[in-house]
Amino acid sequence: MKNKILLIVAVLISSVSFAQTTPSFGVKAGILSSGIRGDAVDNLNNILDFTKGGITTKDYTGFYAGGYGSIPVTENFSIEPGIYYSLKGYELDGSLNLKGLDFLGANAKAILQSQYVDVPLLLKGNFGGFQIFAGPQISYLASANLKTTAGVLGINLLNKTMDATSQFNRWNAGVTGGIGYQFSNGLNISASYDYGLSKMDANHRVNAYNNAIKLGIGITF
Each domain of the chain, given as residue ranges in start order, spans 2-220
Q: How many CB atoms are located within 10 Å of the residue 173 CB? A: 15
pLDDT at 186: 93
C-alpha–C-alpha distance, residues 161 and 188, integer Å: 37
Residues 6+ apart with CB under 8 A from 81: 8, 12, 68, 69, 71, 119, 120, 121, 122
C-alpha–C-alpha distance, residues 123 and 72, integer Å: 10
pLDDT at 150: 73
With beta carbons less than 8 A apart as the criterion, state whether 64 and 88 touch. Answer: no
pTM, to two decimals:
0.78
β-strands 171-182, 155-163: how paired? unpaired
C-alpha–C-alpha distance, residues 71 and 25, integer Å: 9
With beta carbons less than 8 A apart as the criterion, state whether 209 and 177 touch. Answer: no
Question: What CATH number should be reported for the domain whose range is 2-220?
Answer: 2.40.160.20
Q: How many CB atoms are located within 10 Å of the residue 206 CB? A: 16
C-alpha–C-alpha distance, residues 143 and 157, integer Å: 26
Residues 6+ apart with CB under 8 A from 124: 70, 77, 78, 79, 80, 131, 132, 133
DSSP helix, strand, coil percent of the chain (3-state; round to 5):
15, 65, 20
52: left (phi over 0), alpha (psi -120 to 50) or beta: left
Give the DSSP per-residue string, 12-45. HHHHHHT-SS--EEEEEEEEEEEEEESHHHHHHH
Q: How many CB atoms are located within 10 Å of the residue 212 CB? A: 24
pLDDT at 7: 58
pLDDT at 103: 41
pLDDT at 58: 79
pLDDT at 98: 41
Mean pLDDT for each 10-residue chunk of the chain (221 residues)?
55 51 91 82 48 63 96 93 94 57 56 93 95 97 86 66 87 96 96 93 79 96 92
